[in-house]
């Protein structure tokens, strides 16, 4: 039996790449081991073009954001489902000075398309502290990642192209012109194995810089702000009365365990914003596959070009994956060049 692609790992990266290649008419076997941890199973799924106190535009935002909205919407339409929630992000100012700084920053023509005009500050005041007003970020939203991954898994199961279990390196033979695994011959094997790529003998040389993150889920009676609120932490409304609060960033203690420190940090931040009582009902931890130069890892192995990687998505897998998967598909199928900042060839001298 032959197939075009074996995709190893079904977080956001594997799901998006498998879908993209399938839509281009390729035969794809998607494999994932539910026994391994997954950052996508923990992530809030937010897409946000302007981040941090300096309203830094996401890398390649002008290409990524229009593309991702269209990408997720088209899957919803094709499958008749909903997992993508287009929202604005409301950012209450911490002070009058901050309001003035943000007004200057948003006057920049490169930033302006991502800001909506004067939000109705009063409509938030019942639930959150916003005495200085706030700013609304446009083209944002969130993907319900558990739902998205479940739907993509179902799609490939229905096509009989899904393998639930671990792809062991010992079972995989990567040759010069094809790869063999469990009696199937593939033109390519692409690893979308998240932070586990650090243990992958083909790609463990890439300069990863993983970042642990923690997130809370809370009940909050009567809270009905439809937007995502962000002031140092985000408050993501999953449905009326249920929110997610996140996230922490830590470059040490890189395990998948929750901690009291993580919870206390998030609670201290959220108490400064949220006016009404809440009850924490869940806490989760994950490890983001971040990279030293904060750019993703996309491309084929130099010595064994039958194998490739699609990863290193860091804090922004949901925003990056659709556009990069399209680029990678064009590279694999049409021979187009990859973005040099994303291409792993930039790391080869290492």
Ligand X SMILES: Cc1cc2nc3c(=O)[nH]c(=O)nc-3n(C[C@H](O)[C@H](O)[C@H](O)COP(=O)(O)OP(=O)(O)OC[C@H]3O[C@@H](n4cnc5c(N)ncnc54)[C@H](O)[C@@H]3O)c2cc1C
CB of 84 to ligand X, least distance (A): 12
Enter the DSSP assignment of 277. -
Query: Taking the alpha carbons of 192, 197, 203, 209 in that order, is the dihedral positive or negative?
Result: positive
Binding interface with ligand X (CB under 6 A): 8-14, 31-33, 36, 38-40, 42-46, 166-167, 192-196, 213-215, 246-247, 286, 288-289, 311, 313-319
Take residue 310 and report the two structure tokens written for it.
């699609």
CB of 134 to ligand X, least distance (A): 20
Q: Which string of DSSP letters, residue by residue, matches 112-140?
A: GGGEES---GGGTTTTB--TT-EEEEEEE
Question: Quick count: other Cβ atoms within 10 Å of Cβ 26?
Answer: 17
Q: Measured over all CA atoms, what is the biggest interatomic distance in the chain, rounded to whole angstroms? A: 66
CB of 234 to ligand X, least distance (A): 7
CB of 7 to ligand X, least distance (A): 9
The tally of CA atoms less than 13 A away on the side-chain side of residue 305 is 5
Nearer to ligand X, 25 or 183 (CB): 183
Nearer to ligand X, 26 or 172 (CB): 172
CB of 118 to ligand X, least distance (A): 26
How far apart are alpha carbons 186 and 242 in whole angstroms?
Answer: 44
Nearer to ligand X, 101 or 198 (CB): 198
CB of 125 to ligand X, least distance (A): 26
How far apart are alpha carbons 302 and 187 in whole angstroms?
Answer: 16
How far apart are alpha carbons 171 and 184 in whole angstroms?
Answer: 11
Q: Are the CB atoms for 275 and 259 separated by under 8 Å? A: no
CB of 83 to ligand X, least distance (A): 14
How far apart are alpha carbons 34 and 41 in whole angstroms?
Answer: 10
CB of 211 to ligand X, least distance (A): 8
Q: Are the CB atoms for 31 and 6 separated by under 8 Å? A: yes
The 3-state DSSP composition of the chain as helix, strand, coil percent (nearest 5) reads 30, 30, 40
Q: Which of 258, 268, 261 is nearest to 232 (CA)?
A: 268
Closest residue to ligand X: CB criterion = 11
Nearer to ligand X, 166 or 346 (CB): 166
Nearer to ligand X, 8 or 115 (CB): 8
Nearer to ligand X, 125 or 169 (CB): 169
Nearer to ligand X, 29 or 300 (CB): 29
How far apart are alpha carbons 179 and 189 in whole angstroms?
Answer: 7
Nearer to ligand X, 111 or 247 (CB): 247
């Amino acid at each position: 039996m032959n197939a075009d692609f074996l995709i190893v790992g079904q977080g956001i990266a594997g799901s998006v790449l498998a879908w993209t290649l399938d839509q281009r008419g390729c035969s794809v076997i998607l494999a994932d081991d539910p026994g391994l941890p997954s950052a996508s199973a923990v992530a809030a799924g937010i897409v946000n073009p302007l981040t941090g106190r300096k309203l830094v535009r996401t890398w390649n935002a002008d290409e990524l954001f229009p593309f991702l909205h269209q990408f997720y919407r088209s899957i919803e339409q094709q499958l008749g489902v909903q997992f993508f929630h287009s929202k604005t992000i409301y950012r209450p100012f911490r002070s009058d000075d901050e309001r003035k700084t943000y007004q200057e920053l948003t006057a920049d023509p490169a930033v302006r398309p991502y800001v909506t005009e004067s939000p109705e500050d009063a409509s938030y005041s019942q639930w959150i502290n916003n005495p200085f007003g706030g700013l609304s970020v446009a083209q944002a939203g969130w993907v319900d990642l558990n739902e998205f991954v479940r739907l993509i898994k179902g799609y490939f199961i229905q096509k009989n192209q899904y393998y639930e279990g671990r792809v062991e390196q010992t079972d995989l033979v990567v040759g010069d012109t094809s790869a063999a695994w469990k009696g199937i011959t593939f033109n390519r094997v692409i690893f979308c194995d998240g932070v586990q790529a650090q243990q992958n003998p083909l790609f463990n040389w890439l300069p990863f810089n993983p970042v642990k993150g923690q997130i809370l889920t809370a009940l909050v009676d009567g809270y009905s702000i439809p937007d995502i609120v962000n002031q140092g932490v985000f408050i993501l409304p999953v449905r009326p009365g249920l929110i997610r609060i996140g996230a922490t960033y830590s470059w040490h203690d890189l395990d998948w365990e929750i901690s009291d420190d993580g919870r206390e940090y998030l609670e201290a931040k959220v108490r400064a914003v949220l006016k009404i009582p809440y009850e924490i009902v869940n806490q989760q931890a994950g490890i983001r596959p971040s990279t030293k130069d904060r750019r993703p890892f996309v491309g084929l192995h130099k010595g064994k070009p039958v194998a490739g990687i699609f990863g290193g998505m860091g804090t922004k897998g949901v925003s990056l994956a659709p556009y990069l998967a399209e680029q990678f598909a064009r590279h694999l199928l049409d021979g187009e060049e990859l973005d040099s900042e994303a291409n792993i060839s930039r790391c080869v001298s290492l």
